[in-house]
């Protein structure tokens, strides 16, 4: 019964519609006065079997904001080194490069308050008002670079709740990062 309540608490939290990505730290270059992003190349690291999904996820989110976006895997580069990525972006007329890096998986013990209902659960334990659930998160670092200078103009460190599908987790992460950049005035309108 306790496990069922914990699962229901987690499911209720997921169905509320709130983002499952939490930004832990965020930074914007206080000296940056350049124009807002109109075109961006997206590079997800490490380069592995999932980078295409990550890059495509960011491209979809940017395109929803009417920003021209190109995944790095379509830029015909031999190596994903900073200098070569910046040079290729300049050559293609792209003004910014967004780099996303998966850093690590983490587990966190989360506490959920239960609301008692004697009608739905007559054998409810009246003494235990909380459920403790060990949730899994993916930690990502995200940086936006100015192509002309090669300097970072914005960065964020975030935790994304691991959903039942990788697509949902990736969508939550990419959507949250694009919204943060928008709130900081970095995206063209």
The answer on pLDDT for 8 being more than 80 is no
Q: What is the mean pLDDT of the chain?
A: 83
Domains of the chain: 2-10+19-183 (3.40.50)
pLDDT-derived band of residue 61, with 50, 70 and 90 as boundaries? Answer: very high
* pTM of structure: 0.79
- Cα torsion 74, 75, 80, 85: sign: negative
Residue (of 64, 69, 91, 37) closest to 171 by Cα position: 64
Token pair in block for residue 119: 């009608």
pLDDT reading at 4 higher than 60 = no
| Spatial separation of the C-alpha atoms in residues 72 and 131, rounded to whole Å | 43
Write the pLDDT tens digit of every residue in 116-129.
Answer: 555 555 555 555 67
Please compute the mean of the pLDDT values over residues 36-65 and round it to a whole number. 91
More confident residue, 24 or 124: 24
Which of 6-15, 50-59, 120-129, 161-170 has maximum average pLDDT? 50-59
Q: Which residues contact 88 (CB under 8 A, 6 or more apart)?
A: 41, 75, 76, 77
Q: Which of 6-10, 18-22, 78-82 has the lowest mean pLDDT?
A: 6-10
């Amino acid at each position: 019964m306790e496990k069922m309540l914990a699962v229901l608490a987690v499911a209720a939290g997921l169905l509320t519609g709130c983002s499952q990505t939490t930004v832990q730290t965020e930074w914007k270059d206080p000296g940056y006065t350049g124009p807002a992003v109109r075109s961006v190349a997206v590079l997800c690291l490490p380069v592995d079997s999932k980078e295409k999904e990550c890059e495509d996820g960011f491209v979809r989110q940017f395109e929803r904001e009417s920003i021209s976006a190109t995944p790095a895997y379509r830029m015909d580069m031999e190596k994903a080194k900073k200098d070569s990525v910046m040079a290729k972006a300049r050559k293609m007329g792209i003004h910014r490069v967004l780099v996303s890096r998966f850093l690590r998986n983490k587990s966190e013990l989360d506490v959920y308050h239960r609301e008692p209902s004697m009608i739905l659960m007559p054998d409810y334990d009246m003494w235990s008002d909380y459920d403790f659930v060990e949730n899994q998160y993916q930690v990502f670092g995200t940086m936006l670079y100015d192509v002309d200078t090669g300097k970072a103009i914005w960065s964020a460190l975030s935790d994304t709740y691991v959903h039942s599908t990788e697509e949902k987790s990736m969508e939550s992460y990419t959507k949250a990062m694009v919204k943060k950049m928008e709130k900081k005035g970095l995206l063209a309108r």
